[in-house]
Amino acid sequence: MFRFTTGERAELYGAILQAFGEANERLETALGLDEVRARLRSAGWLDDIHDDDLQDALRQLRTWELLDVVQNHAENYRTAEEYERRNLQYSLTRRGEAAIAAVEQALSVLAATGALQTAVLEAVADRLNELYVLLGEAGSSDRRVFSTLQELESHLEALLANTKTFNGELQRLLRAEGADLATFREVKAATVAYLQEFLRNLDRRAQAVASAVQRVEQRGVFLLHERALRGAELPPVAGADPAPAWLERRRARWDGLRAWFLPTDGSRPRVEQLHDVARRAIVTLLQVLDRITESRRRSSSAAQDFRELARWFAAAPTEDDLHRLWSAAFGLGSARHAHLAHPDPELVPSSQRWAEAPPVEVSALLRTSGRTERFTRTGKVRDVGGIKAARAELARKERAELEAAWDVLGTGDPVRLSAFGRLDHAVFERLLDLLGRALAARPDGGGVRRAVTSDGRVEIVLRAGDAGRAVLRTSRGQLEAPDYLVEISVPGGGRAGVRSGVRDGAEAE
Amino acid sequence: MSTLANQLVLAEREDVSRGVRLLLGRPLITERADRSTFELIRRRQGPLTKWFDYHCGWQLVVEPRLGYARLLKIRTGPDASRPARRPRSGKAPFDRRRYTLLCVVAAELLPVPVTTVGLLADRVVQACATDEALPRFDTASKSERMALVDVLKVLESFGALLTMDGVTENFVDSAQAKVLYRVDATLLMRLLAAPVGPSRLAVPAEELPRRFTELLPELVRESRYGGADASEVQHNLRLRHSVLRRLFDDPVLHHDELSADELAYLTSPTGRQIVRRAAEQGGFVLEERADGLMAVDPDGIATDSRFPDDSSSARIAALLLLDPLTAAPGGLTPEQLTAEADDLLRRFPQWAKSYQSQDGAQRLAGDAVRVLTDFGLADRTTGRTVARPAACRYRVALAAGSTP
């Protein structure tokens, strides 16, 4: 049915149909070829068009069943051309009429600007009051009842349609597609003002409508519809009696009215949803406006900085500039360094150039095979002075002893001091050192003392235990002390084996 | 007890050198992502802060309660070799869309403590729509959602965004995905390291492209070095920081890249001493040559990538291309490099599968040269690729003896 709206010749088809539509309004139901041509101009088709093309177009519209051909056999024609020109009369089919109506409707929706007119609400209330009066007077004419009811319904329809378009318009506005900030601001500010005004009056008017509905219902809706039916003087239709269907439609409309202003089931009237929509729209619009104003006012807050940076990124000339900007603004990039060094860097004098100095040792496999192969780091050269090595060895040993001591002492969870039982003397010294530090610290509110070693790596937490005494033995003697609850935390958590060893010992005792 | 004291000093020194390099490699370390590293930095906060402040003039912020350590790196000459990367397997660098979105998202996250991916996307749509300098953001397009997800995941990796429910990735498939986030606003603010806030420069949007090159130096200008009337102290401070920043952040520091007074500082006895001490404390092996300096990190922890390395074909090719490059003092043209790469591909037909195609040699040469320039070993000038002096340290060891 709407095929004529697309394609190359859509405009011509549209113009032709419009010509027929206009003719229809003047009650000319059939047009000949020349009449169509004459009316095309008024339908907005200004180009010249050849007869054949026009015929083609009309034929096409016929195959789409939008036009019908009426023939007049009463006259005599000399040529086929004349026959076509004067005999064939085209008229719109029902489908054609519907198509025109639909297109017009679509255009009007597109052109419509949504507005919530409070005046419509007033008109609805007025008509209802009028109905109330009419129903109250015994002598009033059914015809008046009918026409008033129809007015009421058309106002109601207008209200629904307007709300729909207004809502759509609002959503479009909220989507914030306005590129021109100045008009954007203006339009939105005006909308906000309008909405506020609208809200102020909405309550009162909705209330007026609701009470008018109630009043009419006191007189009886059924009666109202019956009288309107009589006033309508429905034309007879073939088949069934049109009255029940008509009445049914009226009742549905009345239910719609109630749903809007006075729902029977006690739910919220739909007119209040208008409230919500409008209020939400005001809030959102104000937020958007705020954002615009805020973006104009330059403050150096972090959010502003990020926004500004976004603009810079959007405007950076080249891709490398993007990365440079990232590096400058965020400084989150990693350092980058070579990892291959000379085995003994001090052997190469610093006065040499790189070209003269010996190269670093790169895995031969990597270079020669070109295949992916794990290569190891260059081996450490065991070197120069034996003394240096010995010292390093000694240092390592001491270090290892220390580590071992911490491993033994690391408890993880709190244990009793007595749980340590028998200890190696070196380890015992470490423990004593830690205890000394902890006891030197001032206890906090819960009587808990905390201390760390001077390197900060090991932490001890000391809590008073029950009144028991702990005895620690080493190869050189024994220590008796209150049985504190001790918690020693070592980086890496100590090794579980050693720790459980301590506990096992405690259980054995 | 004296041995204990010695051991403590030793342990501290080791910790500090590790901490320095860890922070250089990752300027933002969160407790959540890497507990042990964070512990180490928290424990050695004092000496680490001092090291960075004295040598590089970089502020180290450690927040034990909030659980993050942030080294506010300021680079004197920002380069393009270390972009933000997409948190996916390809690790492709961020594009314009993602960088822009990252900033918009960060700005939108700041005022809200908790949000969902849908609400956030709506805010981003609005923010983009009301700012004429930004392109529109459209959640209906999958590629746009993908970009947003990349950005969110990067923020998650920084710890600025915590996923409390749902999976960010789901947003790629559906804009209806439900993901709940908590925003760490302080960390978010700490992401910006530039000493001058971009919004303070107040450049009108339409002048941005034209004035872009002058913006970056403005962004990293530090007032403590003074301007044209800098005092002697400020001047020395600037020299020390600018030289050491480059030494510890860049792979190579060639003398010819320094200004006259920077070079004078570096070669002066004081300068040398400071550089050596800094490298030692940082656990670097300092390689001093007549034509430049290099801080080598033998453990490879202060770096985002390694060279020479076998982790990609381009890196292996880069190592092999160094030979012809160092042999040609005038450098090589792209065509010559392509020929060399072609030669490699033919010699090892089983290797570098992804490059064994029509324009494979050209791509391989391009990628390899990129590796070399990123490591400061080559330079592209006037269309030719020229080896930098430091490239010679990767020569074939036998070359000097075997070829006349």
Stretch B378-389: mean pLDDT, rounded?
Answer: 88
Q: Which residue of A has its CA nearest to B291?
A: A353
Q: What is the pLDDT of residue B99?
A: 95
Cβ separation of A334 and B12 shorter than 8 Å? Answer: no
B175 Cβ contact partners less than 8 Å away, ≥ 6 residues apart = B118, B121, B139, B140, B145
DSSP B27-54: SEEETTT-HHHHHHHHHTHHHHHHHIII
Written as six digits, the tokens of A275 are 């409230």
Per-residue b/e over B391-402, b at no fewer than 16 CB within 10 Å?
A: bbbbbbeeeeee
Phi first, then psi, for residue B271 (nearest 5°) are: -55, -50
The packing angle between helices A142-174 and A242-261, to 10°, is 50
**In B, residues 27-86, which contact A (CB 8 Å cutoff)?**
27-28, 36, 39, 43, 71-75, 78-84
For residue A46, count other CB atoms closer than 10 A to its CB. 9
Cβ separation of B251 and A337 shorter than 8 Å? Answer: yes
Q: Which of B18, B43, B51, B100 should be substituted to probe chain A, the one whose Cβ sees the most A Cβ atoms within 10 Å?
A: B100
3-state helix, strand, coil in chain B (%, to 5): 55, 10, 35
Closest CA to A259 of A274, A276, A271: A271
Closest CA to B239 of B217, B260, B256, B221: B260
**In B, residues 230-289, which contact A (CB 8 Å cutoff)?**
248-252, 284-289
What is d(CA B310, CA A361) in angstroms, rounded to the nearest whole number? 15
If DSSP codes are grouped into helix, strand and coil, which group holds residue A402?
helix
Q: Return the half-sphere exposure (C-beta side, CA atoms, 13 A cut-off) of residue B56.
A: 26
With a pLDDT cut of 90, the percent of chain B lying above it is 45
Q: What is the pTM of this model?
A: 0.58
Q: Which residue of B has its CA nearest to A371?
A: B351
B198 Cβ contact partners less than 8 Å away, ≥ 6 residues apart = A305, A308, A309, A312, A329, B219
A33 Cβ contact partners less than 8 Å away, ≥ 6 residues apart = A51, A54, A55, A58, A84, A85, A88
Stretch B246-273: mean pLDDT, rounded?
Answer: 92
Cβ separation of A367 and B12 shorter than 8 Å? Answer: no
Q: How far is CA A197 from CA A161, A389, B74, in A?
A: 20, 91, 54
Q: In this structure, are residues B292 and B254 in contact, taking their beta carbons and an 8 Å threshold? A: yes
Q: What is the pLDDT of residue B242?
A: 92
Query: Which residue among A292, A336, A399 places its CB closest to the CB of B251?
Result: A336
Q: What is the pLDDT of residue A492?
A: 60
DSSP A405-421: HHHHH--SS-EEGGGG-
- Residue at token pair 């090892």: B348
Residues of B in contact with A359 (CB under 8 A): 392-397
Q: Which helix (H) or strand (E) holds B60?
A: strand B59-63
DSSP A72-84: --SS--SSHHHII
Rounded CA Rg of chain A: 48
Q: Which residue of A has its CA nearest to B298?
A: A339
**CA distance to partner chain A, nearest, from residue B259 (Å):** 19
Q: Is the pLDDT of residue B166 over 60?
A: yes
What is d(CA A154, CA B401) in angstroms, rounded to the nearest whole number? 104
Q: What is the pLDDT of residue A330?
A: 92
Helix boundaries (H) for A297-358:
302-315, 319-330
Q: In this structure, are residues B294 and B252 in contact, taking their beta carbons and an 8 Å threshold? A: yes
DSSP A360: P
Q: How far is CA B187 from CA A57, A156, B85, B390, in A?
A: 70, 56, 19, 38
User: How far is it between the farthest Cα atoms of chain A?
Assistant: 144
Each residue's pLDDT, cut to its tens digit, for chain A (509 residues) gives 667 777 777 778 878 888 887 777 777 777 777 788 888 877 777 777 787 888 888 888 888 888 887 776 666 666 666 666 667 778 888 888 888 777 777 766 655 555 566 777 888 888 888 888 888 887 778 888 888 888 888 888 887 777 777 777 766 666 655 445 666 666 677 777 777 777 777 778 888 888 888 888 888 888 888 888 888 777 777 677 778 888 888 888 888 888 888 887 777 787 777 777 777 777 777 766 666 655 554 334 788 889 889 999 999 999 999 999 999 999 999 999 998 888 888 888 888 899 888 888 887 777 766 544 444 445 455 456 677 778 888 888 887 877 777 777 777 777 888 877 787 887 888 888 888 888 887 877 777 888 887 777 788 888 877 777 888 888 888 888 888 888 888 766 544 434 444 444 333 33
Between B43-57, B142-156, B302-316, the lowest mean confidence (pLDDT) is in B302-316
For residue B199, count other CB atoms closer than 10 A to its CB. 20
Cβ separation of A306 and B135 shorter than 8 Å? Answer: no
Q: What is the pLDDT of residue B301?
A: 92
Distance, C-alpha B357 to centroid of its chain: 32
What is d(CA B287, CA A350) in angstroms, rounded to the nearest whole number? 8
Cβ separation of A339 and B348 shorter than 8 Å? Answer: no
Q: What is the pLDDT of residue A116?
A: 61
Q: Is the pLDDT of residue B102 over 90?
A: yes
Between A410-419, B86-95, B378-387, the lowest mean confidence (pLDDT) is in A410-419
Q: What is the pLDDT of residue A223?
A: 82
Distance, C-alpha A453 to centroid of its chain: 54
Q: Is the pLDDT of residue B116 over 60?
A: yes
- Paired strand residues for B289: B292
Q: What is the pLDDT of residue A502?
A: 42
ipTM of model: 0.93
Q: Which residue of B has its CA nearest to A347?
A: B287
Between A116-125, A482-491, B238-247, B281-290, the lowest mean confidence (pLDDT) is in A116-125
Q: What is the pLDDT of residue B64?
A: 87
Q: What is the pLDDT of residue A495?
A: 45
Cβ separation of A302 and B95 shorter than 8 Å? Answer: no
Closest CA to B320 of B251, B377, B376: B377
Residues of A in contact with B8 (CB under 8 A): 453-455
Count contacts between A and B (CB, < 8 Å).
318
At B2, is the pLDDT very low, low, confident or very high (cuts 50, 70, 90)? low
Residues of A in contact with B287 (CB under 8 A): 341-342, 345
